[in-house]
Structure 1
Amino acid sequence: METKANETHRVLRFSLWSDGRTTLGQPVTTTTYKELMDEFCHADLLGFYGVWVSEHHGFDDGYLPAPFTFLAHIAARAEHLHLGTNLLLLPLWPVRLIAEETAVLDVLSEGRFTLGVGLGYVQHEFAAFGVPRSQRKKRMEEAIPYLRAAFRGEHVPDGYNGAPLPVTPQPAQGARLPIYMGANTEVALDRVARLADGFLASGFLSDAPEQEVVNQWHILQSHLKKYGRDSTSFPIVLSTHLWVSDDPERDWVTLLAPSMAYRQYVYAKMGTDVGKAMPAEPDPKSFKREHFLVDTPDNVVKRLQDLQAQVPFSELCFWSHPPGVPHQAVVENLERIARHVLPAFK
């Protein structure tokens, strides 16, 4: 039996999602970040809700490695946008540093920050930071209670010989600062239900994109109930690709399919462990537009409304600047979404 969303979930916020890249493998330059910041500021004026950024290290195309620095600059430029990490690779970080960076960013942004975390998976990243990948789940489990205590203003045992030590400053939101988690497997969804304040869901990435999200929700809902948590008020952010056009097939062939193929290849290549066979570079023609949220405005609205009737997600964040898509085309897509899609969900 499908779970229907209640009326409080009919409103939908739209946020941008960035990994700091704008090109198909060209180095990041000052122009890269200037264009992205211009896009974020324009989105702020258009009425978008926020910006989420992701993190990776050692990618040869300039994937964003410094999410807190990047978000701090956005906070200074776009005074209304909410900010979040989607995802911070928590096991790679000293947990005190996460607490301090989070607190400073939350104070700078006057309480606009959400800390979104995930386990990570890329072998070379764990090697680069001297963290055994086998310990990533343990580090996650230990970090969340630490962060909660730090945000409450409690002393933590980081001092000499375990002496109590404060974590300062305190976040502007204090203990209310939300910690969201990403997950795909049932074990990870159980962790979300047990430890997190919200779920960062990934959607429209498979042959059955809507059903993928519905399945994740049903699993998460069962675990929320197991821990006595209210599934009707648990925040869900749907992370996906979104592009609206009067001629979506044209835009798909000329702009988006090559970008999707590039992105998938980079993820697959960088995520391949040493000694494993490297993946073949995918053909853009092998990707199907209907597997992504690339459509006319009316069709996008209908697909989202139909999905929201089954899954109570209250925010959608989308890759705002797919690699290889020109800056002006990105700006025009933001304007089309603001004009034709956002009003349907207010």
Structure 2
Amino acid sequence: MGIQDGQHSLRFSLWIDGRTTQGLPVTATTYRELIEEVTFAEQLGFDGVWDTEHHGFADGYLPAPFTFLAYLAARTQKMRLGTNIVLLPLWPIRLLAEEAAVLDVLSGGRFTLGVGLGYVQHEFAAFGVDRKQRKERIEKGMQYLRAAFKGETLPDGHEGAGLPVTPRPMYGERFPIYMGGSSEVALDRIARLADGFLAAVNSNPGEELAKQWAILRPRLEQYGRTTDSFPIVASTHLWISDDPERDWTTMLAPALAYQADVYARMGTDAGQPRPTPTDPRKFPRQGLLIGTPDSVIKQIQELQKSVPLTEICFWSHVPGIPHDAVMAHLERVARYIFPAFKNVPATT
């Protein structure tokens, strides 16, 4: 089954949060397995890898996204690298610009900076940032980044003296900055300021993405942006299997329930009722890109009919899924899914 008339080639990439196990500390083995998965994915023809950022999670959620990607830059040759997402309001903005620029140069221009607001109460406390100021900080931060990557001198030296931000990214002001978010306000900000949309659609990707696109599209038109070529990355779950019921019961439901519970706990403010743990047997599966190759291909094709999707970025190693199962799944995706959406021959 090849690319059908009216369809566009679709990119496939990995989404990594630095964890492989449930509730256990990160070790050298954790990162070794993740690096092995990414380098294997490049051999299979995957287009990119995105990592993400959180702080103070007991199970080792990745706190240093640029360090991780810098190592990957040295271990890969073609894959694009990106943050999905880095928490812009927590960063000293000059440091963020410099980290992004150095990583882009190191990787030969393969880096995309993806940013978002953040929401976890303890993270803003840990970095001494007023959470109420996060929207203002991301607006001003985007202005700073654009000026820095154009090569402008920024007035943040001693007593307002001008200082350059060096190095400049490989392609200067054309360096891509994507943004995440799902609220109407966030989608308006994306339409105004971003070069692409990182859509986190973990529950029911078809329904969620369609709703977000219905808001984003008229906003893009309002700001004079193109709607047919604006990059849209669906960040979600994807798993194909010859026996999806078996995999769901034995691996996927427990892993996804754990992941959801950690997000829920960490996203609950102090003094608020703690969320009830999720029963994996009751975890909602409807709409997820989980099934046989043919069924998932059909789901993705339906997505493409309603949204001009550019890329699918999926959680490649949800905590609790064994490393060997992840490696085998990457090979299945390349073998069975790529030929339907990419202008490349099936992987043998």
**TM superposition score normalised by structure 1:** 0.96
Q: Which residue of the other structure, out of 315, 319, 323, is the alignment partner of 2:319?
A: 323
Q: Which residue of the other structure, out of 283, 304, 309, is the alignment partner of 1:313?
A: 309
The alpha carbon displacement at 1:272 in A equals 0.8
Q: Which consecutive unaligned segments of at least 5 residues does structure 2 have?
A: 343-348
The percent of aligned pairs where both chains have the same amino acid is 64
Aligned pairs (5 A) from 1:46-195: 46-195=44-193
Residue 249 of structure 1 corresponds to 245
Show CA shifts across 1:88-127 (max 9, x none).
0000000000100001000000000000000000000000
Paired amino acid for 2:133: Q
Q: 1:67 to 1:139 in 2, by over 3 A?
A: same
SS at match of 2:226: coil
Q: Which residue of the other structure, out of 222, 225, 231, is the alignment partner of 1:226?
A: 222
The alpha carbon displacement at 1:289 in A equals 2.7
Show CA shifts across 1:248-294 (max 9, x none).
01000100000111011100111111111111111001113333111
The alpha carbon displacement at 1:9 in A equals 5.6
The alpha carbon displacement at 1:172 in A equals 1.0
- 1:279 aligned to 2:279? no
Aligned pairs (5 A) from 1:289-304: 289-304=285-300
Alpha carbons 1:110, 1:172 under 8 Å: kept: yes
Q: 1:95 to 1:8 in 2, by over 3 A?
A: farther
- 1:210 aligned to 2:219? no
Q: Distance in 2 between matches of 1:266 and 1:337?
A: 27
Q: Distance in 1 between matches of 2:103 and 2:7?
A: 28
- 1:269 aligned to 2:265? yes
Residue 3 of structure 1 corresponds to none
Q: Distance in 2 between matches of 1:163 and 1:288?
A: 55
The alpha carbon displacement at 1:142 in A equals 0.2
SS at match of 1:220: helix
Paired amino acid for 1:156: L
Residue 17 of structure 2 corresponds to 19
Q: Distance in 2 between matches of 1:7 and 1:160?
A: 59
After TM superposition, the runs of 4+ consecutive aligned structure 1 residues lying more than 3 A away are 6-9
SS at match of 1:115: strand
SS at match of 2:306: coil
SS at match of 1:290: coil
Alpha carbons 1:261, 1:282 under 8 Å: kept: yes
SS at match of 1:84: strand
Residue 339 of structure 1 corresponds to 335
Q: Distance in 2 between matches of 1:87 and 1:7?
A: 33
Q: 1:219 to 1:9 in 2, by over 3 A?
A: farther
Q: Distance in 2 between matches of 1:58 and 1:133?
A: 16
Paired amino acid for 2:58: D
Residue 345 of structure 2 corresponds to none
SS at match of 2:286: helix
Alpha carbons 1:47, 1:338 under 8 Å: kept: yes
The alpha carbon displacement at 1:343 in A equals 1.0
What is the Cα-based RMSD across aligned positions, in Å?
1.2
What number of residue pairs does the alignment pair up?
339
Q: 1:186 to 1:261 in 2, by over 3 A?
A: same
Q: 1:302 to 1:116 in 2, by over 3 A?
A: same
The alpha carbon displacement at 1:80 in A equals 1.1
Residue 36 of structure 1 corresponds to 34
Paired amino acid for 1:108: L
